[in-house]
């Protein structure tokens, strides 16, 4: 980024923005880019906290060298081995061959799998402290946030938490690096929830464990591996992660439908209108064929009510709705009120398979599925209205 940014007296942000990549992990769209954060602690002994995705910025190592300002790089501390953070390790070792790599036992197994055997390793255990001089880093193992080897480090001197993927977000750092330099709600909160729900959400139970482990630690600044550095209000982002990982949702409903010729789409509109008339205020309606699944999952994470509709397709669910339901099961999303609907022309298949999904995921189904044969003319909407009413009653509770 070539604009020095100090995070603390001796801590520097050495991350990069990536606005070129279309898909994070080759699946999640990045309309606003992403940042890979890396930090340098320039102390009596200098430590680099993680690297960046290789190819994201060819000048990254120059940037690190410039920030070192002639000092020797003593340590590379690896909080997470996913390649968006470890990608530059090989190049870093070529440039700074004496650097000692700090990680845990699981870190080093992945390191070897990616880059071959390394020497000059310093294996740390949960709770170990690395003394850099002024700064003292205590390692906090937080497995599965978001890979098995993930850990955080906490600087006991200034209360800085290097949190790995936790508290990260999609979205490049457009000028502001700190939470107090941007309008978070306007520009970042949705992208943070989309990041959480799609990348970390599957491991929500482990997020809760990590938060419990950090309770009682005085965190003054949070330095995640993606997105904003939280120096003014770190409790805000801790609170968001706590809420999301407890599946605490807002009052409202997301309607997602799959429709080929508009019949199921009409049912979706009818259900949404009926819910609104019954007093539900926050309603979002999406066509599964048009909106990327990552946004659908993020919206579903946000709201308590979920209404899914599918036409029949080769006697099954519509493939993209099937993909969404499979992903919801895979992610283990919990605690929703569910409504189902769909249409068919001869044998059906959409609603039948949505009902099977309902049994598997175990959410509370608010009413029997609404199903219409053929064109949904006036007079065929009774079950849609009943579903909408039932959802409104649950949401009002």
Residues with Cβ < 8 Å from 81, sequence gap 6 or more?
A: 103, 107, 110, 111, 114, 147, 149
CA of residue 317 relative to chain centroid, distance: 27
- Looking at the Cβ atoms of 54 and 282, the one nearer to ligand FEO is 54
Q: Out of 10, 135, 146, 266, which residue is the one contacting ligand FEO (CB under 6 A)?
A: 146
Site membership for ligand FEO, residue 371 (CB under 6 A):
no
Q: Which is nearer to ligand FEO, 53 or 385 (CB)?
A: 53
Comparison of 87 and 349: residue with beta carbon closer to ligand FEO: 87
- Tell me how far the alpha carbon of residue 237 is from its chain's centroid: 13
Q: How many residues bind ligand FEO (CB under 6 A)?
A: 9
Q: Tell me the C-alpha to C-alpha distance, in Å, between residue 91 and each of 59, 66, 119, 205.
A: 11, 16, 15, 35
Between 276 and 331, name the residue whose CB sits nearer to ligand FEO.
331
**Taking each helix axis from N to C terminus, what angle separates 382-396 and 263-277, rounded to the nearest 10 degrees?**
40
84 contacts ligand FEO (rule: CB under 6 A) = yes
Stretch of 2-10, 78-86, 344-352, 377-385 lying at the interface with ligand FEO (CB under 6 A): 78-86
Q: How far is the CB of 196 from ligand FEO (least distance, A)?
A: 12
Q: Is 42 in the site for ligand FEO (CB under 6 A)?
A: no
Minimum CB distance to ligand FEO, residue 199 (Å)? 6
Angle at which helices 319-331 and 293-302 cross, to 10°: 50
| Candidates 82-90, 244-252, 255-263, 276-284; binding stretch for ligand FEO (CB under 6 A) | 82-90
Pick the closer one to ligand FEO by CB: 146 or 380.
146
Residue 225 binds ligand FEO (CB under 6 A):
yes
The answer to whether residues 344 and 316 touch, using CB atoms and an 8 Å cutoff, is: no
What residues contact residue 196 under an 8 Å CB cut-off, 6+ apart? 169, 240, 241, 244, 301
85 is an interface residue for ligand FEO by CB under 6 A: yes
Helix (DSSP H) and strand (DSSP E) numbers for the chain? 13, 23
Among 50, 82, 149, 371, binds ligand FEO (CB under 6 A): 82
Of the candidate residues 18, 74, 165, 299, the single one contacting ligand FEO (CB under 6 A): 165
- Tell me whether strands 34-36 and 28-29 are parallel, antiparallel or unpaired: unpaired
Binding site for ligand FEO (CB under 6 A): 80, 82, 84-85, 146-147, 165, 225-226
């Amino acid at each position: 980024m070539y604009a020095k940014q100090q995070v603390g007296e001796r801590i520097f942000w050495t991350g990069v923005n990536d606005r070129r990549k279309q898909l994070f992990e080759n699946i999640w769209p990045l309309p606003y880019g992403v940042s890979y954060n890396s930090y340098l602690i320039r102390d009596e002994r200098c430590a680099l906290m993680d690297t960046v995705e290789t190819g994201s910025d060819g000048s990254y190592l120059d940037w690190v060298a410039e920030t070192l300002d002639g000092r020797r790089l003593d340590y590379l501390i690896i909080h997470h081995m996913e390649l968006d953070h470890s990608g530059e390790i090989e190049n870093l070792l070529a440039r700074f061959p004496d650097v000692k790599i700090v990680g845990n036992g699981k870190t080093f197994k992945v390191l070897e799998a990616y880059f071959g055997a390394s020497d000059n390793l310093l294996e740390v255990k949960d709770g170990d402290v690395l003394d850099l001089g002024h700064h003292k880093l205590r390692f906090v193992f937080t497995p599965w946030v978001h890979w098995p080897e993930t850990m955080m480090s906490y600087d006991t001197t200034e209360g800085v938490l290097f949190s790995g993927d936790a508290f990260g977000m999609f979205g490049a750092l457009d000028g502001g690096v700190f939470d107090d330099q941007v309008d978070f709600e306007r520009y970042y909160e949705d992208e943070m929830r989309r990041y959480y729900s799609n990348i970390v959400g599957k491991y929500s139970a482990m997020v809760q464990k990590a938060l419990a482990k950090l309770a009682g630690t005085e965190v003054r600044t949070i330095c995640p591996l993606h997105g904003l550095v939280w120096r003014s209000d770190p409790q805000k982002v801790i609170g968001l992660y706590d809420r999301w990982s407890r599946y605490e949702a807002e009052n409202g409903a997301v309607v997602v439908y799959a429709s080929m010729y508009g019949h199921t789409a009409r049912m979706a509109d009818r259900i949404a209108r009926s819910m609104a008339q019954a007093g539900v205020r926050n309603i979002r309606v999406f066509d599964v064929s048009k909106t990327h699944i990552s946004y659908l999952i993020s919206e579903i994470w946000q709201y308590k009510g979920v209404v899914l509709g599918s036409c029949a397709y080769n006697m099954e669910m519509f493939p993209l709705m099937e993909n969404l339901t499979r992903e919801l099961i895979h992610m283990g999303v919990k605690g929703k009120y569910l409504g189902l609907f769909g249409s068919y022309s001869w044998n059906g298949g959409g609603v039948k398979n949505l009902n099977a999904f309902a049994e598997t995921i175990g959410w509370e189904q608010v009413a029997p599925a609404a199903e219409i044969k053929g064109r949904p003319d006036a007079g065929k909407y009774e079950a849609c209205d009943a579903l909408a009413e039932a959802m409104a009653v649950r949401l009002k509770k």
